[in-house]
Amino acid sequence: MGTTALRRRLPAFAAGLATLALALGSTALPAGAAPPVKDVDLVAVGDSYTAGVGAGDYVTPLPCLQTKEGYVNLLIEELPIVDGNSTNAACAGAVIVDRPSDTAPSVLEQITALTASGTLSVRTELVTLTAGPNDINFTAPLTACARFTLDVCAQAVQAVRDKFPALQADLVEALIAIRRTAPHATVGVFGYPLLFDPAGGPALLTPEAQELVNAGTRALNNVIAQATDAPRVKAKAVYVDVTEAFAGHAVNSERSWIHLGSLEDPQNFHPTPLGHQAYADALQDAVNLNKLARP
Angle (CA) 14 19 25, round 5°: 130
**Assigned domain for 71 exists:** yes
pLDDT tens digits along 98-128? 876 677 899 999 999 999 999 999 999 999 9
In a domain, 97, yes or no: yes
- Confidence class for position 57, pLDDT limits 50, 70, 90: confident
| pLDDT value for 263 | 67
Q: What is the mean pLDDT of the chain?
A: 85
CA distances from 103 to 13, 65, 92, 114 (A): 43, 13, 10, 18
pLDDT digits (tens, 9 = 90+) for 241-286: 999 999 999 999 999 999 988 767 888 899 999 999 999 999 999 9
Q: How many domains does the chain have?
A: 1
Could you tell me if residue 143 is inside a domain? Answer: no
Q: At 44, which CATH number?
A: 3.40.50.1110
Domain-embedded: residue 235: yes
Angle at which helix 164-181 crosses helix 207-228, to 10 degrees, equals: 40
To 5 degrees, how large is the angle CA 196–CA 202–CA 203?
Answer: 50
Confidence grade of residue 203 (pLDDT, cut at 50, 70, 90): confident
Where are the alpha helices (H) located in the chain, listed in sequence order?
Answer: 3-24, 48-51, 71-78, 107-117, 139-147, 150-161, 164-181, 207-228, 273-286, 289-292
Within-domain flag for 154 = no
The amino acid sitting at 45 is V
Give the separation between CA 94 and CA 192, rounded to whole angstroms: 15
- State residue 72's pLDDT score: 95
* Residue 142 domain-assigned (yes or no): no
Domain containing residue 45: 36-135+163-199+217-292
Residue 42: partners with Cβ closer than 8 Å, 6 or more residues away: 72, 75, 76, 82, 83, 86, 87, 124, 125, 126, 127, 128
For residue 104, being part of any structural domain is answered with yes
CA of residue 115 relative to chain centroid, distance:
20
Residue 12 lies in a domain: no
| Cα-Cα end-to-end distance for the chain | 29
3-56: pLDDT as tens digits: 434 333 333 333 332 332 223 233 343 444 434 446 889 999 999 999 999 988
